[in-house]
Amino acid sequence: MFRRNPRARTSERSLLAWLGLLLMAVSFIWLQLTAPPRSLTRLELPPPPTAPFAVVVIDPGHGGQDSGTTKSGLVEKELTLDVAHRIERHLQDRGLVTVMTRANDTYVSLADRATIANSQSESVFVSIHFDEAGRSAATGIETYYAAHPVSLPERIASWLPFLQRTSSEPPNIESQSLATFIQESLVANTQATNRGTRPQQFFVIANVHHPAVLVEGGFLTNKDDAVKLANAEYREQMAAGIAQGILQYRDTLLDKHTPLAVDLPSR
């Protein structure tokens, strides 16, 4: 048998190695020419909920045999109902569902008003009132929120005074935020004196489980406030301000849940 020359075997291996390298180079160039262009891909996170709430419970204060404050020819229960209907129209025009605790001159107890509000899931509650004061100089608009919702132990304690103690409930941040938006919008719309927002455990807001506020839209005992409140155009400005505050509060909640769009290189 003939033996192959060692030098020939070495040359053959070198040729195969060069062929392998050439094939790898051609394959790399081919992949670069045929691959899709490198670009940025937007990674969208899941969309947020359609809205943090879709229902607004509007509570015109007083009604029926409860007239509220009556001064300067103005009756509080009539003013609250008028402004409430105007708020209702503004909110419905923006696609929100509204629920009125009373739609006419009827008496509704505070407990029933809170029950109506709590029966609506994913909602906010706005109670409309007008004020009176011993000093005729008192003027302006203020918005109240409950420092914290009333818990069951507190309800029991309210019946048994010797059990009363400071609540351990956390601060009611949602109601405070809603009050701030409404107050600022109201003042901007009406140019009324800004009396600010205040915590107060009014029954009708402290017993509502959703964000809840109570608006005092002016003093019937103040001559200038009374003149303005007798004007339908001014009451329309009030209603628009309250509605805008509610919508701004909702928009802020939506912004907190807006998904991020992240730019990533495609592979």
Residues with pLDDT less than 50, the chain: 1-2, 37-45, 48, 152-168, 258-267
Question: What is residue 257's predicted lDDT score, i.e. its pLDDT?
Answer: 59
Task: Give the separation between CA 110 and CA 122, rounded to whole angstroms.
Answer: 21
Q: Report the SS3 class of residue 80.
A: helix
Dihedral angle of Cα 229, 216, 244, 184, to the nearest 10 degrees: 110
Q: Can you give the residue ranges of every domain in the chain?
A: 55-255
Task: Give the separation between CA 170 and CA 209, rounded to whole angstroms.
Answer: 13
pTM over 0.85: no
Task: Give the separation between CA 143 and CA 130, rounded to whole angstroms.
Answer: 11
Task: Give the separation between CA 41 and CA 43, rounded to whole angstroms.
Answer: 6
Question: What is residue 256's predicted lDDT score, i.e. its pLDDT?
Answer: 76
Question: What is residue 161's predicted lDDT score, i.e. its pLDDT?
Answer: 44
Nearest to 99, CA basis, from 188, 21, 186, 210: 210
Place of tokens 């918005």: 143
Name every residue whose Cβ is closer than 8 Å to that of residue 222 and which is 6 or more positions away in sequence.
Answer: 133, 136, 137, 138, 139
Residue range 55-255 in CATH 1.10.10.10:
no
Question: What is residue 130's predicted lDDT score, i.e. its pLDDT?
Answer: 98
208 to each of 47, 76, 129, 154, how far by Cα in Å? 30, 23, 17, 14
Question: What is residue 66's predicted lDDT score, i.e. its pLDDT?
Answer: 98
Question: What is residue 266's predicted lDDT score, i.e. its pLDDT?
Answer: 40
Question: What is residue 32's predicted lDDT score, i.e. its pLDDT?
Answer: 61
Question: What is residue 254's predicted lDDT score, i.e. its pLDDT?
Answer: 87
